[in-house]
């Protein structure tokens, strides 16, 4: 009798434990179903912070410094006498830095017009698989040209603010698959100095850019800006016509860096000139060859590598 009672008690305890374990397992499963899962981010919409001449939605990683040289040569149709434009060139030197994973800043100097730029790029939204369909960033800069390079319209009074222009862009991009990415760029460029009797200080434009990957290391890129206002605007201080900017290029990945080669009707590579003041036309043979090349430095080590001198 004593054995029977003991066996019955043990069986009851086992049943109770099994029920408790089953209830805990069920609660765990319910918790898994109700707990939100972080959707995977879509990375490398583009492989560089620039598509061709202007910005992509890509940012530098936190603590990374990028020193970039952007070179644009003269017109290809200048012929052998000017070595098809290679004897005439302009250069932009740029230092970009990733302050956080979502904020990048930079300072730039262009030899054409002796122009200096300060910019910031802020990542507002990140594309995710089965989630947010696009990546959205904001790009804004302020640029100043040297006084001697900016002819004043007849009768205009000189002020320091005449040298300044501002660019604001919303960059909206989607990586459709591993080979194709597309970006649209609503843009506003404000020039402090224009002939206000004929043109607006604000140039509105809509840009479109894209990337088609041909192989593991090579991609075709392009960008185009269509001006919605000031489409007949002259080059500031002259009567030279301006045109919509078009660039076509090739990205070549080399050892973790991207070497960009391109053809464009823009002789310089600053936003104020590219978007609203491009003075050459593809239809007239006004094409310039150019390239971007950069060197990246890690200024601040990621946390996971700190204290591991032999592994970094």
**Is residue 105 domain-resident?**
yes
pLDDT tens track for 19-65? 444 445 544 544 444 444 567 999 999 999 999 999 999 999 999 99
Q: Are 109 and 91 in contact (CB under 8 A)?
A: no
Arithmetic mean of pLDDT over the chain? 85
Say how far apart CA 91 and CA 106 lie, in whole Å: 16
Asked whether the predicted pLDDT for residue 69 surpasses 60, the reply is yes
**Is residue 3 domain-resident?**
no
**Is residue 43 domain-resident?**
no
Residue 154: predicted pLDDT: 65
**Is residue 14 domain-resident?**
no
Residue 239: predicted pLDDT: 83
Say how far apart CA 141 and CA 234 lie, in whole Å: 22
> Which residue range forms the structural domain that includes residue 184?
64-298
Percent residues over pLDDT 70 in the chain: 82
Asked whether the predicted pLDDT for residue 298 surpasses 80, the reply is yes
**Is residue 90 domain-resident?**
yes
Q: What is the mean pLDDT of residues 63-76?
A: 92
User: What is residue 32's three-state secondary structure?
Assistant: helix
**Is residue 21 domain-resident?**
no
- For the entire predicted model, the pTM comes to 0.83
**Is residue 247 domain-resident?**
yes
Residues with Cβ within 8 Å of 251's Cβ and at least 6 positions away in sequence, in order, are: 47, 48, 211, 218, 219, 220, 221, 258, 259, 260
**Is residue 140 domain-resident?**
yes
Here the CATH number for the domain that contains residue 77 is: 2.40.160.40
Say how far apart CA 128 and CA 82 lie, in whole Å: 49
Total structural domains in the chain? 1
Residue 19: predicted pLDDT: 45
Q: What are phi and psi of 285, to 5 degrees?
A: 80, 15
């Amino acid at each position: 009798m004593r054995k029977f009672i003991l066996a019955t008690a043990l069986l009851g305890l086992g049943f109770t434990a099994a029920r408790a374990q089953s209830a805990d397992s069920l609660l765990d499963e319910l918790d898994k179903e109700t707990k939100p899962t972080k959707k995977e981010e879509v990375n490398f919409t583009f492989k560089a912070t620039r598509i061709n001449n202007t910005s992509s939605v890509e940012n530098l990683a936190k603590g990374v410094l990028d020193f970039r040289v952007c070179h644009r040569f003269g017109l290809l149709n200048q012929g052998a006498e000017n070595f098809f434009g290679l004897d005439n060139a302009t250069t932009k030197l740029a230092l970009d830095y990733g302050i956080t994973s979502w904020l990048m800043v930079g300072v730039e100097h262009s030899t054409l017009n002796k122009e200096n730029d300060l910019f910031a790029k802020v990542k507002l939204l990140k594309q995710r698989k089965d989630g947010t369909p696009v990546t959205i960033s904001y790009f804004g800069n302020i640029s100043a040209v040297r006084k001697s390079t900016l002819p004043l319209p007849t009768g205009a009074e000189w002020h320091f603010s005449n040298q300044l222009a501002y660019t604001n862009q919303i960059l909206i991009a989607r990586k459709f698959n591993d080979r194709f990415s597309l970006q649209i760029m609503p843009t506003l460029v404000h020039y402090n100095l224009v002939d206000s009797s004929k043109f607006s200080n604000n140039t509105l434009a809509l840009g479109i850019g894209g990337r088609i990957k041909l192989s593991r290391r090579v991609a075709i890129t392009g960008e185009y800006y269509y001006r919605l206002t000031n489409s007949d605007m002259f080059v500031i201080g002259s009567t030279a016509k301006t045109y919509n900017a078009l660039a076509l290029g090739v990205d070549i990945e080399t050892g973790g860096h991207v070497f960009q080669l391109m053809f464009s009707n823009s002789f310089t590579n600053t936003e104020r000139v590219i978007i609203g003041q491009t003075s050459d036309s593809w239809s007239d043979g006004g094409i310039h060859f150019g390239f971007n090349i950069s060197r990246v430095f890690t200024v601040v080590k990621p946390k996971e590598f700190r204290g591991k001198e032999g592994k970094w």
